[in-house]
Amino acid sequence: MAGAARVGRAAGVVGLVALTFFAWRLWFTGEEGVIRRRLEALRDEINLGVADGLENAVRAAAIGSFFTDDVLVDLGQGTAAINGRETVMGMAARLQPRTAAFKLEVQDIGVTMRPGNTISDVTLTGTFIRRSITTGEESIDAREFALVMTKADGTWRISRLTAVDTLK
Amino acid sequence: MLAAVSIVTFRWILIPIRAEGISMLPTYESGTLHLVNRLSFASRPPARGDVVAIMLAGPHVLYVKRVVGLPGERIAIVHGQVHVNGHLLVEPYVRNRRPWDVDEVTLSPHEYFVIGDNRGMSAADHDFGRVELSKIAGKVVF
């Protein structure tokens, strides 16, 4: 009886180790993991904040490198669609929050690979936390986004970014 | 065993959340902690007046809103007052109102109309509207 219990425990441990291994492999080596880390890297780049002069241009270029040349960004009603990486870089370079600092958080990243593994559909929640420099007051705005990412030359880039209206 | 029960309970059944923002004032103040029961709507659909948590891309960031319109109903907001199928909805939980106006919409068989309790803020700053049942994560119970 005790022997059977020991075998059961051992099988449980082996199962847990196997599960952990496969989860690790999926997270760190699968394309889904690569895409997640890519988006987290974009978040970190944006959260570096605003710099002056040349450094600002370098950061804008770094942010632009996460998008394809022909990226289309649609932030929803009341905003014009943004076409092309150059435009995205121009907007990133003009980010000069003199009255508020902001931080971007990215949560609930869901990745669905299309056949061929060079295009993926991604959903995520972006949370923008703004802190007023003058009052210290914090405001939070969360939005749902749908992305199309394409892989070229071994690198995943955003080719389409659309804000989703959770409440219509 | 206790740890496993806690993990299951607080990950899949009762989700702890922290309210952020002012859209549910005065019912829920920003910074307060609450629980979402994910099983609330397993046996019955959301009802008018329920405060529900709504998923964005997943369960880690949620909107907290009150259900004012049920599937198939016609909803309009006239001078800050919600009308359901042409009749004024009595909402004792609303303290302040601005004269919001929203054209009448008819909800589809799987849609609910949700809105925060704080109608004293600008409509432009307040997220509200139609939501699919599949996006409702559960009922805010505490």
pLDDT in tens, A69-109: 999 999 887 788 999 999 999 888 876 555 557 889 999 99
The more confident residue out of A150 and B10 is A150
Reported as a pLDDT band with limits 50, 70 and 90, residue A54 is: confident
Q: Give B130's DSSP letter.
A: E
Give the ipTM of the model, two decimals please: 0.84
> Which residues, including other chains, have CB under 8 Å from residue B64's CB and lie 6 or more apart?
B17, B19, B23, B24, B28, B34, B51, B52, B53, B54, B116, B140
Q: Which amino acid is at A49?
A: G
Query: DSSP for A108-130?
Result: EEEEEEPTTSSEEEEEEEEEEEE
> Which residues, including other chains, have CB under 8 Å from residue A94's CB and lie 6 or more apart?
none
Active site residues of B: 23, 65
Q: What are the strands of the beta sheet with B62-69, ordered from one edge?
A: B14-18, B33-37, B136-140, B51-55, B62-69, B111-115, B129-132
pLDDT value of residue B1? 78
pLDDT value of residue A118? 95
User: B-contacting residues of A 137-156, CB under 8 Å?
Assistant: 139-140, 142-145
Q: What is the pTM of this model?
A: 0.83
pLDDT at residue B99 greater than cutoff 80: yes
Looking at beta carbons, which residues of chain B come within 8 Å of A139?
A: 21
| CA count, 13 A, side-chain hemisphere, B24 | 24
Reported as a pLDDT band with limits 50, 70 and 90, residue A2 is: low
pLDDT value of residue A97? 57
Question: Does B127 contact A166 at a Cβ distance shorter than 8 Å?
Answer: yes
Chain B contact present for A167, CB below 8 A = yes
In B, minimum Cα distance to A127 occurs at: B61
Rounded to a whole number of angstroms, the distance from the CA of B55 to the nearest CA of chain A is 8
Q: Compare CB distances from B58 to A107, A140, A165 and report the shortest one's residue.
A: A107
Looking at beta carbons, which residues of chain A come within 8 Å of B66?
A: none
Question: Does A168 contact B128 at a Cβ distance shorter than 8 Å?
Answer: no
Backbone angles phi, psi at B3, to 5 degrees: -65, -40
**Rounded-to-integer distance, Cα A38 and Cα A30, Å:** 13
Task: Measure the CA angle with vertex B105, ends A124 and B49; round to 5°.
Answer: 75
Q: Are B139 and B50 in contact (CB under 8 A)?
A: yes
Chain B contact present for A124, CB below 8 A = yes
Mean pLDDT, chain A, integer: 86
A-interface mutation test, from B18, B22, B61, most A Cβ less than 10 A away:
B61
Question: Does A168 contact B129 at a Cβ distance shorter than 8 Å?
Answer: yes
Question: Does A144 contact B131 at a Cβ distance shorter than 8 Å?
Answer: no
pLDDT value of residue B36? 95
pLDDT in tens, B131-142: 999 999 999 997
The more confident residue out of A15 and A158 is A158
Q: Compare CB distances from B131 to A139, A140, A166 and report the shortest one's residue.
A: A166
